[in-house]
Chains A and B, each alone.
Chain A
């Protein structure tokens, strides 16, 4: 634990991530599709931002684009300002000093993200060698500390185990340990608990929140589970068809959604007390990126639409302190309230 500079965080060295007009398009067989469309948001030091949306909404591509991990044929434009530098414009060598070091990432599938033929020690060591100047002996000690930090019991005895000897939850802890090796100030977590059982998900989310607290990290949590957002995030950005359609503080969004899609999502999740009554569903399905509707991408599924929605794509605009929405009729949506 000693080597993790909690002082650094306390000394106010946490950096702000500023994303502006992030756009990622894939050039598929001549017709480019835009997976992420002019996405802008900030993450303050120590903050947990939830990026929520359904499959194909662009939330995972957004996360990958932040570290230029969206590979060819993907093309990313816009800017990702981190600590005064634009990640998208950095030369590869400088980018490598940030990737895995200042900004680390964990993935949904802890089984496929770990190398099955290397011991856990080797995989943590790889990360420590890349991001620290510790000697071989110190790295082994550090690896034990890291496993200990993420709550793996009898850490010293598990170092030489292989990934298959760990359960799903424990593998995700190993992934987090590897991510922490570079002492990141920002953790990008792509659906880190989706593959896990609910009691194990609970443990992993608590671990991430606890590490945020102890290490002063910021976190971007990509998830499709609104319950996870409610319980772990400070702010949330709701994505639909590659765009952010609403942002704000979690409590406010859950209390008074201003975008019909957010409202629909919240209404789709059963809550206690409404047993066996119809849920507020959203008709239809999310659009294919290759066949985006005109105007507002949500209009084919929207019950609040009017003529303007067919023609004009609404920009994401502030309407209250800390709140933004991209909807022509957001006041009407807010007044409709939650069912």
Chain B
């Protein structure tokens, strides 16, 4: 195999690693609870999450509300301190970086937020927003800043005269481009995009998705794409992690995960996503019941209350994420689930 044909991405060392991260948000302990002798409660947002992100790849993180995907994104950029476990960037625990290392980390890992309306200061022009990013991290001498701003606007396909306008003068899609330009201003290596396009109309979503794909290739970015939209995640990601109630239940190469999911929840999620082909209307199984509260995560496997294949062991013992094949890992006691030719298939 020649150098060029080799699939280079999977061989890269991980740029980011999440090691058994636990995040709990305590819930206010009310007087009533105290009088009744009830112990303080906590939302278990992340329950021992472990994953690696390779340099240059796009890792999709998908799940329903309350699954912990946004908490995971925020923990990775150090907006949230984990209660247990750690996040490593190039091998170093981001919780114990020195001052200068921390500043470097803050530059090299950038987050883009969901809400294109709330994440920009309404009183700052695009030029001010970008200048601030460029100055805080001393990216360019003052004299070069105007040229760099023009370059950034061009990169995200905004007109040059956008620089002197205020956020309210832009549409939602354009504002997301400003958010991307702001993140790219500091020449990051990792972009964490939390529901980047979910607030946008579908025709505008496609523009931003195309831009992200293009920039990722051009700048060799590592992208964490957090979203609830399976179709989008599938389209963008090299690999996908599926989360449920604070745990990763399955992670694997996009193609493998979508064509042969190895966890019943992944299967249910795929079945529930409406197929774009009207001639393909199936009596799909979906997932029965409701999402349990993250205050009260079921014992054993978190999915056991809704799983059509539940058996005794699932109620008591939490399954670990184990390798099913070289490109797929799943946390399910049914090792056969989804395996070609296995008797237990959806």
Contact A251 B290 (CB under 8 A): no
Residues of A within 8 A of B236 (CB): 276
Give CA–CA (A269, B234) in the complex, Å. 11
Question: Counting CB contacts under 8 A, is A335 at the interface?
Answer: no
Residues of A within 8 A of B254 (CB): 275
Pick the residue among A197, A264, A270 that contacts B291 (CB under 8 A). A197
Contact A265 B203 (CB under 8 A): yes
Question: Counting CB contacts under 8 A, is A201 at the interface?
Answer: yes
Total number of A residues with any Cβ neighbor in B under 8 Å = 46
Give CA–CA (A231, B202) in the complex, Å. 18
Contact A278 B291 (CB under 8 A): no
Give CA–CA (A28, B207) in the complex, Å. 32
Residues of B within 8 A of A286 (CB): 201, 203
B199-227 vs A, CB cutoff 8 Å, 1 = contact: the mask equals 00111111101100110000000000000
Residues of A within 8 A of B201 (CB): 54-55, 224, 285-286
Contact A203 B286 (CB under 8 A): yes
Contact B231 A225 (CB under 8 A): no
Question: Counting CB contacts under 8 A, is A321 at the interface?
Answer: no
Question: Counting CB contacts under 8 A, is A281 at the interface?
Answer: yes
Given A197-B65, A202-B284, A231-B281, A282 and B203 contact (CB-CB distance below 8 Å) = yes
Contact B206 A279 (CB under 8 A): yes
Question: Counting CB contacts under 8 A, is B279 at the interface?
Answer: yes
Contact A230 B275 (CB under 8 A): yes
Pick the residue among A54, A201, A203, A272 that contacts B202 (CB under 8 A). A54
Residues of A within 8 A of B287 (CB): 199, 202
Question: Counting CB contacts under 8 A, is A228 at the interface?
Answer: yes
Given A197-B65, A199-B64, A231-B274, A278 and B210 contact (CB-CB distance below 8 Å) = yes
Question: Counting CB contacts under 8 A, is B312 at the interface?
Answer: no
Give CA–CA (A275, B258) in the complex, Å. 12
Give CA–CA (A226, B206) in the complex, Å. 14
Question: Counting CB contacts under 8 A, is A115 at the interface?
Answer: no
Per the 8 Å Cβ criterion, residues 257-290 of A in contact with B are 264-272, 274-276, 278-283, 285-286
Per the 8 Å Cβ criterion, residues 183-240 of A in contact with B are 197-203, 205-206, 224-232
Given A230-B278, A254-B277, A265-B203, A198 and B272 contact (CB-CB distance below 8 Å) = yes
Contact B276 A226 (CB under 8 A): yes
Contact B235 A225 (CB under 8 A): no
Contact A250 B278 (CB under 8 A): yes
Question: Counting CB contacts under 8 A, is B74 at the interface?
Answer: no
Contact B202 A265 (CB under 8 A): yes
Residues of A within 8 A of B214 (CB): 278
Residues of A within 8 A of B145 (CB): none
Question: Counting CB contacts under 8 A, is B255 at the interface?
Answer: yes
Contact A202 B286 (CB under 8 A): yes
Per the 8 Å Cβ criterion, residues 157-211 of B in contact with A are 171-174, 201-207, 209-210
Question: Counting CB contacts under 8 A, is A169 at the interface?
Answer: yes
Contact A270 B65 (CB under 8 A): no
Give CA–CA (A305, B207) in the complex, Å. 20
> Which of A199, A206, A285 has most B Cβ within 10 Å?
A199
Per the 8 Å Cβ criterion, residues 267-323 of B in contact with A are 268-269, 271-279, 281, 284, 286-287, 290-291
Residue of chain A at shortest CB distance from B58: A276
Pick the residue among A169, A224, A279 that contacts B290 (CB under 8 A). A169
Question: Counting CB contacts under 8 A, is B228 at the interface?
Answer: yes
Question: Counting CB contacts under 8 A, is A167 at the interface?
Answer: yes
Pick the residue among A54, A203, A227 that contacts B231 (CB under 8 A). A227
Give CA–CA (A164, B230) in the complex, Å. 29
Give CA–CA (A197, B73) in the complex, Å. 19
Give CA–CA (A205, B272) in the complex, Å. 10
Contact B206 A197 (CB under 8 A): no
Question: Counting CB contacts under 8 A, is B43 at the interface?
Answer: no
Tell me the minimal C-beta distance from A292 to chain B in angstroms: 16
Residues of A within 8 A of B207 (CB): 281-283
Contact B286 A199 (CB under 8 A): yes
Give CA–CA (A298, B254) in the complex, Å. 36
Question: Counting CB contacts under 8 A, is B155 at the interface?
Answer: no
CB<8 Å pairs between A and B, sample of 27 = A167-B290, A197-B291, A198-B228, A198-B230, A198-B273, A199-B268, A199-B269, A200-B291, A202-B284, A202-B286, A224-B202, A226-B276, A227-B275, A228-B274, A230-B274, A231-B281, A250-B278, A265-B203, A269-B206, A270-B231, A276-B238, A278-B214, A279-B210, A282-B204, A282-B206, A285-B173, A286-B203
A residues apposed to B, CB below 8 Å: 54-55, 167, 169-170, 197-203, 205-206, 224-232, 250-251, 254, 264-272, 274-276, 278-283, 285-286
* 10 residue pairs, one from A and one from B, having the closest CB atoms: A227-B274, A270-B235, A281-B206, A268-B206, A202-B272, A197-B64, A54-B201, A282-B203, A279-B206, A199-B287
